[in-house]
Amino acid sequence: MEDAFRPSTDLDDPPNSRLFLVTSKSITEDMIREQFSLFGEIQDVWVVKDKQTKESKGVSFVKFTKSSEACTAMEEMHGKCLVEGTKPIKVFIAQARSSGSHRDVEDEELTRIFVMIPKTFTEDDLKETFKEYGDIEYCIIVKNKTTGESKGLGYVRYHKPSQAATAIENCEKTYRAILAEPRNKTPAPDNDYFSPARAEHVQGDPGMTSYPFVDSGFHTRGDMRGTDIITRCLMVSSRASITQDQVYSLFDLIPGMDYCEMQQDSYGFSTGQAMIRYNNLGSAVYAKNKLDGFEYPPGNRLVVTHIDDGQDRRSPVGRMAMQLVAAQMMSIVCNAPTGPPPLRKTSTGYPSPAVPQSPRVQTDVALPPLQKLAPSDSRVKERLFVVFKPLPLPMDVLEDVFCRFGSLVEVFLVPGRNVGYMKYAERKSADDAMATLHGQMVNGVKMKVMRADPPKEESHKRQRTY
């Protein structure tokens, strides 16, 4: 074929019906078609070739007639060898060209569907209706925040992408089932998960409002420009996943905190924000200036802003008192030593806590003890390819985590991309790291750990050996 799909083929109709394959360069179109036709009707196979040499680039696309067939093929063929002696293939759902990213078998976005249901439906009714298409992880009924009544909308989360796709294709059309899209796929900023179909029902509905997302621009500590008020209430925004307990533990280091609550949207999902209230203005000002831009978890900068706490500030005396306290606290912050100062009482009567130092590695994974790095001139016997979501972890954290399996030679992050390589002097160490860390969260970052393809020169040596 030419280096494009035939014009008669709509690349993304239906959505998620096109696969993106990473294969050995020796894999041909016929080999791909033979293996993947077992999962359904194939419309097209495209092996991408170099325009000059006409040799395969090791990248291919497979277009199915149904999304469920494509998802099943991805689940079954990812990591398999098409031909004996070739490397395992990587299979992804090819995303629309406007998106520029591909979805893999572990992508949560492919497993959750959005449906319209009778308002009399309970979660048990919803689960009973959709369980025939696959194993369900959970169901959610969307309710009016004020009345608690069902809005006739719901979510169903399956364990596998193929199950969600099958449900969309085969359920009654009255449910108008579609794949639920995350917030950042649409312009709407008011909840974590949003789909175009849902927007039709949300517009004009006062019960569907939620907390506005605070501007994500990071501010320099001590910079109060652009802030109209200084109050005892703070709004904390985080791009990485963070729990209420984590926020509470961090801000409770500054004495005087009365209140801490994670904010949720109309569907019960976290907005990535928390509201903090202190019992005195000084603590709030100190917290804002010390923790705005603070990395917690490491690699994720928090945004902290003052919000209205409902206090009347029309009195000139009240405004002067507020400005005086704020100025005193700002002076303390700006003149404090760079190192973490001890907790002490200041001249204004407000405590000045030490800068919080969070543990460098935060994870639920049971990690082995630290081990020394292998000598830098050690021969690399195995490399791991790591994908980070949403952002890469700092180098020191990666060394801390991956050295625990022994014989780590080097950590390398690809500039400008959310991927990196871990180089090991022993294959067993790499295997142990991959088995322990694949799919796990470290410091709020999810890691996909896979065996990397051998370098080109090493690959050529192996071929000459054969």
The tens digit of pLDDT for each residue in 157-208 reads: 999 999 999 999 999 999 989 888 654 444 333 333 333 334 434 333 333 3
- Binned at pLDDT 50, 70 and 90, residue 443 comes out as confident
Beta bridge partners of 114: 155, 178
The tens digit of pLDDT for each residue in 309-356 reads 655 555 555 555 555 555 555 555 444 444 444 434 344 444 434 444
102 found inside a domain? no
The tens digit of pLDDT for each residue in 28-64 reads 999 999 999 999 999 999 999 888 888 998 899 999 9
The tens digit of pLDDT for each residue in 78-123 reads 989 998 888 999 998 887 654 445 555 456 678 899 999 999 999 9
- Asked which of 179, 195, 222 is the last residue of a domain, the reply is 179
* Distance from C-alpha of 191 to C-alpha of 212, rounded to nearest angstrom: 9
* Distance from C-alpha of 177 to C-alpha of 325, rounded to nearest angstrom: 55
Neighbours of 42 (CB within 10 A): 18
Q: Both 116 and 92 in a single domain?
A: no
Which comes out higher in pLDDT, residue 99 or 368? 368
252 found inside a domain? yes
The CATH number covering residue 92 comes to 3.30.70.330
The total number of structural domains that make up the chain? 4
46 found inside a domain? yes
Task: Say what the pLDDT of residue 157 is.
Answer: 92
Task: Say what the pLDDT of residue 245 is.
Answer: 78
Beta bridge partners of 274: 236, 262
Answer yes or no: are the C-beta atoms of 64 and 430 closer than 8 Å.
no
Residue of 88, 84, 89, 90 lying closest to 466 (CA atoms): 84
115 found inside a domain? yes
Task: Say what the pLDDT of residue 125 is.
Answer: 93
The tens digit of pLDDT for each residue in 124-138 reads 999 999 999 999 989
Local structure of 170: helix, strand or coil: helix
- pTM (2 decimals)? 0.43
Query: What kind and span of H or E run contains 261?
Result: strand 257-264
Helix axes 67-77, 29-36, angle to 10 degrees: 100
Answer yes or no: are the C-beta atoms of 133 and 170 closer than 8 Å.
yes
Which comes out higher in pLDDT, residue 90 or 145? 90
* Structural domain of 113: 108-179
Q: How far is CA 112 from CA 71, 156, 181, 454, in A?
A: 14, 6, 8, 36
Tell me the pLDDT of the chain averaged across its residues: 75
216 found inside a domain? no
- Asked which of 78, 97, 116 is the last residue of a domain, the reply is 97
The tens digit of pLDDT for each residue in 6-29 reads 434 456 678 889 999 999 999 999
- Asked which of 77, 97, 117 is the last residue of a domain, the reply is 97
Q: Both 125 and 84 in a single domain?
A: no
Torsion sign (Cα): 46, 48, 52, 54:
negative
Q: What is the DSSP letter of 182?
A: B
The tens digit of pLDDT for each residue in 207-235 reads 333 333 333 333 333 333 334 467 888 98
**Residue 229 identity:** I
435 found inside a domain? yes
Residue of 123, 118, 183, 190 lying closest to 157 (CA atoms): 123
174 found inside a domain? yes
Q: Both 83 and 138 in a single domain?
A: no
Cis amide prior to 298 (ω within 30 degrees):
no
245 found inside a domain? yes
